[in-house]
Homo-oligomer: A and B are copies of this chain.
Amino acid sequence: MSGMTEVATARRSRITPEREAELYEAVLDLLREVGYDALTMDAVAARTKSSKATLYRQWGGKAELVAKAVRYQKPGAAIDETDTGSLRGDLHALTMRSDDCEMEQSSALMRGLAMAIHGNPDLLRAFKEHLIEPEMAGFRQVLQRAIDRGEVRADNPAIDFVMHMMIGGFAARSLIDEQPPTQTFLLSYIDAVVLPALCAPAS
């Protein structure tokens, strides 16, 4: 009997993985469109044709729902596979993993969350763990191989700033140029900024 009760409880409080994925996609879309502050549980309920009661029962609140949706983000192609034999080839390959449409979406998501993550430690953790850290891990591998090949000096201080440079190109593109970042833009930025900084000789 106790076993049946558990099953019934689990059933009542669970939604299917497909439905969960649908909900997270809707939350991410809303985040890109209106940002965190303007995102309401009402809007999520309306767009996903679910009841607010279900949303609150399942996730507890907006912050938890958004953090889970960010966590749900699919990672790009496995980084391990990116090994072209040169730093330039690897950095270009990392960039080419996302098409222009995906980059525009990431850029919109970053914008939508920028303010919220500063007042919300859970969201900041989800953002770092699921969006920033996987990217950083990829860049670290690529850089280590470049150091092993002798393309980059192990003590080049620019190594610590790879993510700052990349996020800069990415985020400033829409701010300064009023255009979403594109593959073409990021490849020129890598050639003009990231590679010269990383491959600079000892000063």
Let me know if A176 and B191 touch, CB within 8 A. no
Distance (whole angstroms) from the CB of A26 to the closest CB of chain B: 18
A111 within 8 A of B: yes
State the majority secondary structure of interface residues on A.
helix
A93 within 8 A of B: no
Let me know if A192 and B160 touch, CB within 8 A. yes
Q: How far is the CA of A192 from the CA of B156 in the complex (A)?
A: 8
Number of interface residues of A (CB under 8 A): 43
Q: How far is the CA of A193 from the CA of B124 in the complex (A)?
A: 26
A79 within 8 A of B: no
Let me know if B192 and A161 touch, CB within 8 A. yes
Let me know if A157 and B115 touch, CB within 8 A. no
Let me know if A164 and B157 touch, CB within 8 A. no
Interface stretch of the complex, out of A3-11, A12-20, A54-62, A165-173: A165-173
Question: What 10 pairs between A and B have smallest CB-CB spacing?
Answer: A168-B168, A37-B37, A157-B192, A196-B200, A35-B115, A167-B172, A164-B172, A158-B192, A193-B197, A114-B114
| Sample (9) of A-B pairs whose CB atoms are under 8 Å apart | A111-B118, A112-B115, A117-B175, A118-B174, A157-B192, A164-B193, A166-B168, A167-B175, A193-B193
